[in-house]
Structure 1
């Protein structure tokens, strides 16, 4: 009978799913009650759309849940296949790529030393690489952002074709170097002070905000110069720290400094002062270093010193240092999008700096902003990223020496085991080697550009260095635009001011540090300013 029944409509099928469909069975068969059916339709026609919507929501939820389960199972399956493929020595990947991968892995194994001891390299390096590419993408997109800057910083950069206006001297190798001379004349100078400028700076820096009367009061002749490729100086085809030190010696000869001179190094210029102490110690009377930059990859630094140094830097600065050491060819891209772009002056952003309270106040000062603009303008005059890349690479690559090499050591006349045993019991005094003059280091304890830990290492390995720890001071606040600070610095270096030499009196030689019979002892001086 059911086979002969007429096909039911979709409404009849829907009615059959409810508890009271309105179907009444009789003895002869069955019939559908029209009243019940109409009642059902009237009740359910209004709710039909809502039931359909609820059904779609459930279907979507079910679909998403099933998709997640499928993806999870797929990932587990891929992981199993990958493990089986790599663990099987007969697999295609292992046979063709196993050997080269093992060689590369062995060469890069040294990088594991930079990971925390409790981290598994297998899990740590993927995270490091992910963060690296995220930071790289931020750097690439960050250069397009237009940040608000003060009107004082909106000075356009000079065109590389602008006429030269600096005094230049020719070195023995034919290169020309631009320099600037301030203070007393050559024949009246009691002390000659040569300054190597820092990264993104020029000969115009010198002692930012110093008083000319202060130089005259102490009888100081200040000579500043542009590093190769900076400002108006010619580039050096094979630049390193050895050539940098000999450039200093040649510049001193060219400007008429016949006696020993003092070397001043500030921030990134500190590496050139360290080089002078290493390669031309016989030309130096002393060294004044202000937050001098060291090599953050120095192998003789302790783990604690290295950690405290890197911990103070921003992620962007760490990335730029890494690129300078491993991928310097990428640096021109970032430099051309920042300080070589011709845009507004933004020192903290360009150098990826995190500044302390006093430094933030300093860079917002109008006098400092105007000075910074002129200095950066002159530094980037040639518009060429090559010298900046060279300078960045010099900071983080092998210097050719360690700061520990500046340590005063005994010079043994004889070499070998038995002369060494004899020397252990000998009371004969011998000659001391290394730089025997004074080395003064000023370090702001709130400096986040050159962290204090970097110069705690310098104090540890360089005998004779006097470290002046400046409580509460930053990277710029003590060295720049502080008359009292500059007077204090000169008093420490040169003693009581005696003014320039009198032409009518007998010629005096600039004060040199007397030869020492014993090595000097490290001293630390704390100053609260």
Structure 2
């Protein structure tokens, strides 16, 4: 992942970025025993081994946000601040009202994906590598998944190379994505919507950033999640899709909000019509 902050801001605030690969990604070994809970303790061990200090900031993006939720549950005392960018919403969280998700096609798609991943992974592997399945280049232009700003962004970034048929034919790549998907959207050992505020004295802040036009994670679900967790600061990008982290200048705004407490007034959520 490319560091998307401006060099001026990095120098001004003295920011040090540490990016790590979850199990199976990059140079990280696969771990068949991975879980949402393990993520927090793996991150804590990594921080201790690298001696980065007793507290650090955490940023979780999209499906990778389950790592941040895990840290908020299990090691909140280690977090100086947390930003969740277009974080996933797991349809199996017990506190999500069925009335909110029953007609959502994403729920049915994810349920099918979990069933195939669990019971017939070989069939799933065969299916996703067939020639009649749309290529990633086709999906990246599809307005079902991305709004106009996202589609423009995808013209300038590498996109999703791990999701190409060529990559998915590699067993390790497929197994990594399948395992990550099952962890993210399977049953968790806790319900994030029931988390109590671990920062009663405002010694840390937590932020959710969501695109109003996000077609991967619906804004209605994100609003509900943030509404159940009033101690989390919720920000909404009016014309934003799922790739808001790539929008020019926005990552600097996100960093200023979590690092120095600047309030980005222009990203207050729209009124519900």
Shared fold by TM > 0.5? yes
1:359-398 superposed Cα distances (whole Å, 9 cap, x missing partner): 22221x2x31x36449989x97974122221111112222
Do 1:232 and 1:382's aligned partners in 2 also have CA atoms closer than 8 Å?
A: no
Q: 2: distance between equivalents of 1:332 and 1:466?
A: 42
CA offset at residue 481 of structure 1? 4.6
Q: Quick check: 1:474 aligned with 2:241?
A: yes
Aligned to 1:346: 137
Q: Quick check: 1:218 aligned with 2:13?
A: yes
Match of 1:444 among 203, 208, 211: 211
Instruction: Report 1:130-279 matches (<5 A).
Output: 205=1, 207=3, 209-279=4-74
Q: CA RMSD in A?
A: 3.6
Do 1:443 and 1:468's aligned partners in 2 also have CA atoms closer than 8 Å?
A: yes
CA offset at residue 263 of structure 1? 0.8
TM-score by length of 1: 0.44
Do 1:466 and 1:525's aligned partners in 2 also have CA atoms closer than 8 Å?
A: no
CA offset at residue 223 of structure 1? 0.7
CA offset at residue 491 of structure 1? 1.8
Do 1:443 and 1:470's aligned partners in 2 also have CA atoms closer than 8 Å?
A: yes
**Secondary structure of residue in 2 paired with 1:443:** strand
Aligned to 1:407: 196
Aligned to 1:198: none
Q: 1: distance between equivalents of 2:54 and 2:69?
A: 20
Instruction: Report 1:297-446 matches (<5 A).
Output: 297-307=92-102, 310-311=104-105, 313=106, 318-325=108-115, 328-335=118-125, 338=128, 345-346=136-137, 348=139, 354-363=145-154, 365=155, 367-368=156-157, 370=158, 372-373=160-161, 383-384=171-172, 385-408=174-197, 437-446=204-213
Aligned to 2:256: 491
CA offset at residue 444 of structure 1? 0.5
Do 1:214 and 1:487's aligned partners in 2 also have CA atoms closer than 8 Å?
A: yes
Q: 2: distance between equivalents of 1:352 and 1:233?
A: 33
Aligned to 1:184: none
**Secondary structure of residue in 1 paired with 2:222:** helix
**Change over 3 Å in CA distance of 1:458–1:362 after alignment to 2:** same
Q: Which runs of 4+ in 1 moved over 6 A?
A: 374-377, 379-382, 432-436
Pairs aligned (count):
262
Q: 1: distance between equivalents of 2:209 and 2:5?
A: 17
Q: Quick check: 1:454 aligned with 2:221?
A: yes
1:214-251 superposed Cα distances (whole Å, 9 cap, x missing partner): 32222111111111111211111311111111111111
CA offset at residue 294 of structure 1? 2.0
